[in-house]
Amino acid sequence: MLKILDRYIIKTFFGPFFFIFSVLFFIFIVNIIWVQLGQFMGKGLSYWQILKLLFYLGVSVISMVLPLTILLASIMSFGEFGERYELAAMKAAGISLTRVMLPLLGVTAVLSIMLYFFSNNIIPDFQRKAKNMLFNIAQTKPALNFTPGQFIDQIPGYMVKFDRIHGENGENIDGVFVHKKATTYENQQSIVAEKGKFIPAANKNYLKLVLYNGYVYEDNFAGKADNVRLKQPDQAIKFDTLVSHFDVSEIINKAIEEEKITDDYRFQTFNELNKTIDKTKKDNDKFFSNVNNDVLSQTNAVVSYMDAAQNRAKTKPKQQIKLDTVKGDKKLEIINNAYNRLDNLRSTVDAKNNELDPGIKYYGKVVIYQQRIVTYSFTCIIFFLIGASLGSIIRKGGMGLPVIIAIVIFIIFYVINVGTENMAWSGKINPYLAAWIPNIVLFPFGVWMTYKALTDSQLFDAEKYKALFKPITRLLVKTKEHKRYQ
């Protein structure tokens, strides 16, 4: 049963929490927009499709936004308690700082558990939707990744070919051929034009094509019997300008939502990733063994060749005594051949190393992605311990000093996170350890800060540090007497 004090502490915490979460989520979304801008700008997407894409992309950043939000909100909340002397009043009433932190620690634990299930069950699904949507937008909008000189059937119901595509945005075309796909019971139609141009249509679900100097060839077969079709003459219509509208709504709306990519590790849950990790590890081990066998076989061949050459030189020493020049040439030949073989062996090893790198990097990526489903949940608790302790020590609320301290801590966490990630990708560190190193580094700091807060440490008291360094400053700086006493 929550007491009045617990409800008040939780209410004070969630005030800045929701505000900070909204701001940070917006900042991360803006960053995504900036990175992905070129993939969906100028593609004729509707506002609803753009918002849906941003929502799919934005869901994945929650795993990073939530720990930072908890850090900032806890610093600001406890800073406000200290600034308004509420912490002092609580302590005077016999309520310890541990008791004050307890309800918010419970809230943070609940948020951490929710983040785990969210990262494990919801984010993979939205990652799949976002990646497929981006892929399909790139492929289908402007639905028309036309290649000059090739027949393209991307426009529903038509087969088209352009001899040349030019212009700033590829809107001008030369040598146009458009054939309408029709059944035996429909009119057959083909259009040939000297040149044409794509023009934005009023309705974005349609593609507007203006053709110049051409002919329309049509067979009026619809509803006609077979014997009548044999006597039906072809019709050819010459035109100077012809405007055609092609319905591409099916491509725009349906293809964008179609899921063509299904094998990305980011689409999997924690347990599913275990299978991917095992498979990747087996593939890497098999590749390593093949590489070792190849390198060893080549090394043995070089050693055997050199041993054979030495044996040949030892077995016939008397025959080579009088042939010093021949013997020297033979030695040079042997050395040169050995050098070439060793050089080939080195090239082989370098090539195999280049082949090893992608497998090691992929294995590291999968392991780190899986472990971060868990590690970010623990980061929430660590950030709360750090934030609550700092807030109670500095006793400053608002968006000033607490925000600066929180950003510095988060930058340290982010730098460690990225640094260990790159090391794991290159195989320099175990990826399981790399995923946990940021928490391992910050957890002792969080415990130490909590201890300092519980013991009422004056960690940010400038006068304390001045007094500490005062004997040193006295030795370095000589005090001047007043002129009056000189």
Residue 362 and residue 388 in one domain:
no
Amino acid found at 91: K
Residue 170 and residue 227 in one domain:
yes
Residue 335 and residue 379 in one domain:
no
Q: Compute CA distances 185 → 25, 182, 190, 224, 225, whole Å.
A: 57, 8, 16, 8, 10
Residue 163 and residue 224 in one domain:
yes
Residue 379 and residue 401 in one domain:
yes
Number of helices (H) and strands (E) in the chain: give both, helices first: 15, 5
Amino acid found at 19: F
Flag whether 260 is in a domain. Answer: no
Query: 416 CB contacts (<8 Å, ≥6 apart)?
Result: 437, 438, 441
- Name residue 217's beta-bridge partners: 190, 236
Residue 182 and residue 236 in one domain:
yes
Q: Compute CA distances 402 → 74, 349, 448, whole Å.
A: 10, 53, 18
Flag whether 477 is in a domain. Answer: no
Flag whether 476 is in a domain. Answer: no
Residue 216 and residue 91 in one domain:
no
Q: What φ, ψ does residue 248 adopt, rounded to 5°?
A: -115, 20
Q: pLDDT per residue over 286-317, tens digit each?
A: 776 766 666 566 565 555 555 555 555 554 44
Domain final position from 310, 335, 369: 369
Flag whether 259 is in a domain. Answer: no
The per-residue b/e assignment along 82-98, b for 16 or more CB within 10 angstroms, e otherwise, is beeebbeebeeeeeebe
Q: Which residue has the tokens 């020297």?
A: 328
Q: Which residue has the tokens 């609940």?
A: 110
Distance CA 207, CA 201 (A): 6
Q: Give the domain range for residue 135.
A: 4-140+374-447
Residue 13 and residue 133 in one domain:
yes
Three-point CA angle 332, 334, 336, nearest 5° = 65
Q: Structural domain tally of the chain?
A: 3
- Note the pLDDT of residue 260: 59
Q: pLDDT per residue over 193-219, tens digit each?
A: 998 888 777 776 677 888 898 888 877
Flag whether 303 is in a domain. Answer: yes
Query: Going edge to edge, which strands form the sheet with 158-166?
Result: 158-166, 172-180, 188-199, 206-219, 235-247
Residue 135 and residue 192 in one domain:
no
Residue 34 and residue 128 in one domain:
yes
Q: Residue 264's Cα: distance from chain center in Å?
A: 12
Flag whether 486 is in a domain. Answer: no
Domain final position from 221, 247, 273: 247
Q: Which of 83, 67, 72, 144 is nearest to 404 (CA)?
A: 72
- Note the pLDDT of residue 5: 84
> What three-state secondary structure class fits 316?
coil
Instruction: Give me the half-sphere count of Cα atoms (radius 13 Å) on the Cβ side of residue 357.
Output: 9
Flag whether 147 is in a domain. Answer: no
- Note the pLDDT of residue 382: 93
Q: Which residues does the chain have with pLDDT short of 70?
A: 1-2, 35-46, 135-146, 154, 168-170, 183-185, 204-205, 220-234, 248-263, 288, 290-339, 341-342, 345, 348-357, 397-400, 402, 457-470, 473-486
Length of the chain: 486
Looking at beta carbons, which pairs linking 441-449 to residues 24 or more positions away fall under 8 Å? 441/416, 442/379, 442/382, 442/383, 442/386, 442/409, 442/412, 442/413, 443/382, 445/386, 446/382, 446/383, 446/385, 446/386, 446/389, 447/385, 449/385, 449/386, 449/389, 449/390, 449/393
- Note the pLDDT of residue 317: 45
Q: Token digits for 328?
A: 């020297």
Flag whether 482 is in a domain. Answer: no
Residue 118 and residue 22 in one domain:
yes
Q: Token digits for 90?
A: 């609580």
Distance CA 153, CA 411 (A): 51
Q: pLDDT per residue over 315-350, tens digit each?
A: 444 444 333 444 555 656 666 666 676 677 677 666
Residue 20 and residue 104 in one domain:
yes
Domain final position from 247, 273, 308: 247
The answer to pTM > 0.95 is no
